[in-house]
Chain A
């Protein structure tokens, strides 16, 4: 061990260590570690300085032997074992000694590292290397962190055995429990089958069926519940539809009534027209009053289509809605002395009738609305009317400037009586929409044209939809307008768009 390092004499420096060298040669097996460490610490030859001149520590060697004897370590590459021992602070000599003591371990790496030229070393090294040349299957030995001796090995065995026994017991208990939980019911069912064989097809079924039946029953119940829900919803739907139909029927009836009244009104109008000149003076005062009232309700009155009651009631206080409308209309007519307007009024009346004929449904419905208002003062009905009136007012505003230009707007006014709910919103929305889309003077024309188209469209299309939508919600009024506009307005807009784009 120590000799190998000191065999080649080299010119060195210190003197004091020569004696130590000699002692070192003697000391490789010296168990007295302290002396061995301290004295040879100061050494003479340069080689000795750089050589581990400390004697082998037997304790370390024994620990190394234990380590190397461990079965796990046996399977690891030699290089790992060596490096592990080196990291633990063993000197080369100690490592070699340990390897030597554990016969079947082989540090072959040393041999591979031997140089090409250079000096082969003293025999002990070679002997050691030659002895330890058997390779073993490699397993990483890095996991071994402790020196384990034979005793510990047996302990490991015992502990391993104990652990194994415990695991087996636990697994056995676990499997037993599982068996009990899972197999017992099966056995029971099986037993039942066997015992009740003769009568037991049914019983078996019942035994099995309870589970199946229960499941089926549950499924059926859920299905039934679902079906019941579906039925309920369908019934509700039907009921609502029936109600709606009832409403429709009612509205139709009311509209019919209004149609009749309108007819009467036309007759009365004709008569009145004949009598207008006579009554001008008489109705002047009434006009003022009516105008005042008209100011209060002009637009609404104008927009609304009051089926002028045939009763030319002189009473300034309107007993009924219709009476007011009639009076207002009279006032209008009286105010409108201009020939064309008169003629327009006449035309509008006829056109109104025609339009009404075309769209009786809406008329009746629209008229039914105010009637219902009078009949059933439901809040939302009233609100709707109010809004409609407001919208009509707006329409009146819009319509007034165009009164001169368009001939149909006055027509719309009486027409709007019946059509008040549906029409104004669409027109308004259309205007707003157009204003947003095309900030051009074309808007006016668009509005005029759209108003006309809308009126026609509203007459002919979506009659059923518009009214119920009105009935549904107030906010839907605007929605209706939007919906109704697209039907016609979009077409026009598309055309207009194309026109504009081109």
Chain B
């Protein structure tokens, strides 16, 4: 399985919705504490024996905490940068003209970026300044700011089916469901007793949300009855940093954690943990399911490695 070594510590990896062999990796120097960052665009070779090739790389003044592919343009990448800016990069343009946009409205680090898969015209950015901002590619300023959380917003994810609904996970231990048309959040879900680091919508059931928290658990909620979680997935030994629902299988969740493992779960089963990959030697902070290739996983961590492998296989196998 191909492995890519990044010069900086990896923070996020996302598969391109247009090219099945393309992925974007956001990295930050010095574990993201201080220093520069770099956005890599990698290309998998058809033969797994060949290493991953780097199509483009863009340097940033601060760490890149998250990346998001545009759903409207195949060459545009959104980068959430630690200096509070949201940058747009166009791969089709030479590096000198990149980034094509730099939105600087957040007062603190931008922790996540997510592109609207339904409307394909807007994207969200969530920041440590307790706010979530809505942007479009052409406007120089944000469309909306959602400020209700009492602490850092670690993740804002669009609902894959409903164009205007998104969920935000925050350090104030609540998950909020928003409707862009509403002025304020519609559902407040006290999902965990500790900070919620990630959330994701189920691709097949639009009412299911999963949350990953510092309390090492992954909980799956039904928005319609959110008093009690649908199920609680325990298995990580440290905080769960990122999680993703599979776009191909209804019940699959992949999560990565500070215990350096990537776990795949089936939350409908009694024994939910399907597989655990411990290929990383540092915090595993980024994971993604490929939309175009079923079962293709990518993960990155602070050990400066990007792994791409098929679910069920060994990521470190040559």
Contact = CB atoms under 8 A, between A and B. Distances in A.
A49 B147 contact: no
Contacts of A8: 181
Given A47-B179, A49-B224, A118-B180, A92 B186 contact: yes
Given A42-B224, A91-B188, A113-B145, A86 B174 contact: yes
Contacts of B182: 4-5, 47, 119, 121
B31 interface: no
Contacts of B151: 83
Contact of B223 (A50, A89, A116): A50
B51 interface: no
A87 B224 contact: no
Given A50-B162, A87-B173, A115-B145, 20 more contacts: A5-B182, A5-B186, A46-B206, A47-B165, A47-B186, A50-B165, A50-B177, A50-B186, A80-B150, A83-B174, A86-B190, A92-B184, A92-B185, A92-B187, A112-B147, A113-B146, A115-B146, A117-B144, A119-B183, A125-B183
Interface in B157-203: 159, 162, 165, 172-174, 177, 179-188, 190
Interface string A91-126: 110000000000000000110111111111100010
Nearest to B193: A87
Interface of A: 4-5, 8, 37, 41-43, 46-47, 49-52, 79-80, 82-83, 86-92, 109-110, 112-121, 125
B148 interface: yes
A118 B187 CA distance: 19
A109 B147 contact: yes
Contacts of A46: 162, 165, 206
B268 interface: no
Contacts of A79: 150
B190 A88 contact: yes
Given A46-B165, A92-B188, A114 B224 contact: no
Closest 3 pairs between A and B when the two form their complex, measured CB to CB: A113-B147, A83-B150, A115-B144
Given A79-B150, A83-B174, A109-B148, A49 B207 contact: yes
Contacts of B207: 49
Contacts of A5: 179, 182, 186
B143 interface: yes
B96 interface: no
B206 A51 contact: no
B186 to A, nearest CB: 4
Given A46-B165, A82-B150, A87-B174, A51 B187 contact: yes
A356 to B, nearest CB: 90
Contacts of B146: 113, 115
A113 B131 CA distance: 9
A43 B224 contact: yes
B227 interface: yes
Contacts of B223: 49-50
Contacts of A89: 190, 227
Interface string B115-147: 000000000000000010000000000111111
Contact of B144 (A50, A88, A116): A116
Contacts of A91: 187-188
Contacts of A114: 183
Nearest to A77: B150
A116 B145 contact: yes
Contacts of B162: 46, 49-50
Interface of B: 131, 142-148, 150-151, 159, 162, 165, 172-174, 177, 179-188, 190, 206-207, 223-225, 227
Given A43-B224, A80-B150, A89-B227, A52 B186 contact: yes
A87 B190 contact: yes
A142 to B, nearest CB: 11
A8 B164 CA distance: 13
A37 B225 CA distance: 8
A118 B183 contact: yes
A91 B150 CA distance: 16
Nearest to B178: A50
B223 to A, nearest CB: 6
A50 B183 contact: no
Q: Of B174, B184, B225, which is in contact with the most chain A CB atoms at under 10 Å from its CB? A: B184
A120 B181 CA distance: 9
Q: Of A4, A82, A113, which is in contact with the most chain B CB atoms at under 10 Å from its CB? A: A113
Contacts of B184: 92, 110, 113, 121, 125
Contacts of B185: 92
B206 A41 contact: no
Nearest to A118: B144
Contacts of B172: 83, 86-87
A285 to B, nearest CB: 103
Contacts of A41: 224-225
Contacts of A43: 224
19 contacts: A5-B186, A42-B224, A46-B165, A46-B206, A47-B182, A50-B165, A50-B179, A83-B172, A87-B172, A90-B188, A92-B185, A109-B148, A113-B148, A115-B144, A118-B144, A118-B181, A118-B183, A119-B182, A120-B183
A121 to B, nearest CB: 5
Contacts of B186: 5, 47, 50-52, 92
Given A113-B147, A115-B145, A118-B143, A49 B206 contact: yes
Nearest to A42: B224
A49 B145 CA distance: 22
Contacts of B144: 115-118
A74 to B, nearest CB: 18
Contacts of B150: 79-80, 82-83
Contacts of B179: 5, 47, 50-51
